[in-house]
Amino acid sequence: MGLKADAPDGFRRMVHEDMKYYLRAYHDILAAQQSEKTGWEHVFYHAQWGIADSLGFPLMLAPLKPTDSPEVTRQKINEVARFMETFAVRRSLNFRTFSASSIRYTMYTLVKEIRGKELDSLRQILGQTRRNG
């Protein structure tokens, strides 16, 4: 996390700014899962497929950075949800399970790969993963 004992400002920033940003993003995802909203459609659709939240939330939050604007944050979340939706549909059509235990490794590997990425890089990684997966 980059926190240092001799720099208390980093801890203050993490608690008062970063955590607030991620909590807001988490609440936005929860709200978007409840009803279809413009710009958040894929979050809503993803919730209908039933990929475990224990995989979905870390994946949707992974590319976010507290310096992202609200619009970029929304776009990143929606892009990841779109990827998960497509992933679930493809696995279903190919009679492959998408239970948490069967896709955990794939999703957590992807979490590490997309962590903190810019929107263009995120789209590129997800597109490549879609083509390969």
Mutual angle of helices 70-93 and 119-132, in 10-degree steps = 0
Is a pLDDT exceeding 60 seen at residue 16?
yes
pLDDT at 4: 66
Residue 78 and residue 64: Cα distance in Å, rounded? 12
Question: What is the mean pLDDT of the segment spanning 71-94?
Answer: 89
Higher pLDDT, 85 or 29: 29
Is residue 37 within 8 Å of 31, Cβ to Cβ?
yes
pLDDT of residue 20: 94
Number of H helices, E strands in the chain: 7, 0
Cα first-last separation, the chain: 31
- State residue 2's pLDDT score: 66
pTM of the predicted model as reported, rounded to 2 decimal places: 0.86
Does residue 50 or residue 56 have the better pLDDT?
Answer: 56
Instruction: For the beta carbon of residue 7, count every other beta carbon within 10 angstroms.
Output: 11
Query: Could you give the percent of the chain with pLDDT greater than 70?
Result: 86
Q: Are 98 and 91 in contact (CB under 8 A)?
A: yes
Closest CA to 98 of 47, 90, 57: 90
Per-residue pLDDT band for 60 (boundaries 50, 70, 90) equals: very high
pLDDT by residue (tens digit) across 6-15?
Answer: 766 767 777 7
